[in-house]
Amino acid sequence: MAAQIRRDRLAQRRQRGKPRIQHLEDALSRHLKVMSREALMRQGAELARTGQVEEALAFFESATKPGEPSSQTEVGKVLADAGHLEESLVWFERAAQTGDQHALRAAGTYLADAKRLDDALAWFDRAAASNDTRALRSAGEALAAAGRLDDALVWFDRAAARGDALSTVMAADWLQAAGRTTQALASLESSDSGQDHYAARAIARQLADAGRIDEALPWFDRAAALGDATALRTAALRLVSAGRSDEAVAWLERAADSGDADALGELIELLLRDNRMDEAWPWADRAVSAGRARVLNDIAHQLVVLGREEEALAWFKRAIAGGDVHGFRQTAERLSGHNRLNESLLWYERAACHGDVEALTRAGSALDLAGRPSEALDWLQRGAVAGHDDRGAAVAALLRMGQTHRANQLRLFGRGFDGQPAAPWRLDSGSDAMP
């Protein structure tokens, strides 16, 4: 009898709880309707990351719309990233069925990352059947990464047959990495490389890597003619590495003439290295005109490091004329960072003389860090008078010198016109001064 009574009471409680559960579900439904799509996706992702997949799905369902298959693909990616691959495949399939064929490749990629290569290939194949040529390349990459290079080449070839020149380049890179350089080059040369700069550059690179620089140069030339903006500069750097600087200069000049601004810096630096200063100056003017005055500062710094200070000064002044006034300070900071503090002070001074007053306080900070607080204070005071006050650094230097009273005075009352800690002062409570 007692057991029956307990069962009856439990049934009554459940019946009373049903309206409350329904109320909570209705409240959640209303809440989901007013949340933005971004908020729904964010909340769903957080739930998925903490393993609450069922709860996450409610948010994802509210975030997606039937006419937006890409949003379903996004859900698939979020679930896969959270480690719920099987659930993600359901969403990738839904997206694919409603028109987002990129979902097929995404599913294949996640499966390949999970080492489920055969499953991945099936999805990649479906994507390829939907005219997603990139899926063929992705399949090739996955197979090559798994050590199945010969199988990968079949997929790369399928992609190349559809006009994906990058697949040919990737296949060649994998072949070269496997030590099959001859096959790699043959593959590239037999492709339609005359029409694509990717393949031409890859051939040039592989020939150069094999030490066949003279054979590589025409391919660099062809890549440049086909639109590769970096091919001429790359060829020049390969020549430099091979000890053929004179030839490299000609290639860098061509690169600079074609609009490669980075080649300007490389060219000037190479000419300086070879002591061809007179040839370097006109290119320096070009660098300034191209808005690359900082290149001149970098070169000047290299000259400082080499002990060629008079030449460096000329380059710094050219950079300043071009609008970059921070070269002196940057060189000072580099020297200081290489434990050449005394040398750096000269360059901090030069920077200040050219209007860079912050250089004074930077010098002070460098001296303080080096354990020279008395000298640091002189520089910091000069900086304050010139209009750039680093009061915190000055207080720290005074404390290191044991001058606690002056440090507190500076912290509380600031500086006087002479840059020294101001005399104590207070506002007269009876005056009209602002509190």
Whole-number pLDDT of residue 242: 92
Question: From the CB of residue 277, how many other CB atoms can be counted at a distance below 10 Å?
Answer: 13
Whole-angstrom Cα Rg for the chain: 35
DSSP letter for each residue of 65-93: -TT-HHHHHHHHHHHHHTT-HHHHHHHHH
User: How far, in Å, CA of 390 to CA of 411, rounded?
Assistant: 11
pTM above 0.75, yes or no: no
pLDDT per residue, tens digit, the chain (435 aa), is: 555 555 555 555 555 545 554 544 454 454 445 466 677 767 767 777 777 767 777 766 766 766 666 778 888 888 888 888 998 899 889 888 887 888 999 999 999 999 999 999 999 999 999 899 999 999 999 999 999 999 999 999 999 888 887 888 888 889 988 988 888 888 877 765 446 787 788 888 888 888 889 988 998 998 899 888 899 999 999 999 999 999 999 999 999 888 888 888 888 888 878 878 778 878 877 877 777 777 777 777 777 777 887 887 887 777 777 777 777 887 788 778 878 889 889 888 988 888 888 888 998 898 988 899 899 889 888 888 888 888 888 888 888 888 888 888 888 877 776 667 766 655 454 444 433
User: How far, in Å, CA of 361 to CA of 419, rounded?
Assistant: 12
Q: Is 415 helix (H, G, I), strand (E, B) or coil?
A: strand
Asked if 376 contacts 393 with a C-beta cutoff of 8 angstroms, the reply is: yes
In Å, how far are 123, 229, 319, 329, 339 from 335, measured between CA atoms?
Answer: 57, 35, 19, 10, 7
User: How far, in Å, CA of 112 to CA of 195, rounded?
Assistant: 32
Burial class of residue 340 in the structure, from the number of CB atoms within 10 Å of its CB (0-12 exposed, 13-18 middle, 19+ buried) = middle
In sequence order, what are the residues at sequence separation of 6 or more whose Cβ sits closer than 8 angstroms to the Cβ of residue 298?
265
Question: From the CB of residue 53, how many other CB atoms can be counted at a distance below 10 Å?
Answer: 17
Asked if 395 contacts 365 with a C-beta cutoff of 8 angstroms, the reply is: no
